[in-house]
Amino acid sequence: MADRKIPAPGVNPETEPFWTAAREGRFLVKGCASCGKNHWYPRAICPFCFSDRTEWRPASGRGVIYSLSVMKRAPEPYVMAYVTLEEGPTMMTNIVDCDFDALKIGQKVKLVFKPTEGDGPPFPMFTPA
């Protein structure tokens, strides 16, 4: 099956460290030095306590599928999903490189970075662990 072309994410100054790390194969989440919680998607201001003392933290890339939908009506079918990370937050992503119809909510998955169009940074996606 042909892989869907993934548009490059629109990197901005607030998120540039994430994508630079992604190019080096490192997966980061944003955490808060004030309330301690990790969040997704990464922000400069903590969405829980509104502190500006947020920091990039390395993440394991391990998680479980919270929900998923196999997009059948597309030139190349793909899987939209939410994955709950070991570090806490649930993130929107794709599940890739597997039998889509065999995927289940609650299944363990691990991170894979997938190339994006042009010279874009690789995008965080998941595959069965």
Partner 1 sequence: MTIKGKAYIMGAYEHPTRLAKDKSVAQLHAECALGALADAGLSKEDVDGYFCAGDAPGLGPLAMADYMNLKLRHLDSTDMGGCSYIAHVAHAAQAIAMGKCRVALITLAGRPRSEGHSGAVPRMRGADAPDTQWEFPLGVATINAYAMCAARHMYQYGTTSEQLAWVKVAASHHAQHNPHAMLRDVVTVEDVVKSPLIATPLHRLDCCVVSDGGGALVVVAPEIAKSLKRPRVKVLGAGESMKGQMGGEVDLTYSAGVRSGPAAFAEAGVKPADIKYASIYDSFTITVVIQIEDLGFCEKGQGGRFVADGNLISGVGKLPFNTDGGGLCNNHPANRGGITKVIEAVRQLRGEAHPAVQVKNCDLALAHGTGGLLGSRHGAATLIMERE
Phi, psi of 62 (to 5 degrees): -100, 145
Amino acid at 10: G
**Which option in Zn ion, partner 1, none does residue 40 bind, with CB closer than 5 to 8 A by kind?**
partner 1
Shortest distance in whole angstroms from residue 3 CB to partner 1: 12
Which window, 20-28, 54-62, 73-81, contacts partner 1 (CB under 8 A)? 73-81
54 binds partner 1 (CB under 8 A): no
Residue 73 lies near partner 1 (rule: CB under 8 A): yes
Helices (H), the chain: 16-23
43 contacts which partner out of partner 1, Zn ion, none, CB within 5 to 8 A by kind?
partner 1
Residue 77: other Cβ atoms inside 10 A: 14
Is 20:12 a contact under the CB 8 Å cutoff?
no
- Over the window 11 to 30, marking each residue x when it contacts partner 1 by CB under 8 A and - when it does not, the resulting string is xx--x---------------
Asked whether the beta carbons of 32 and 53 are under 8 A apart, the reply is yes
**Number of residues written out for the chain:** 129
Residues near Zn ion, by CB under 5 A? 32, 34-35, 46, 48-49, 51
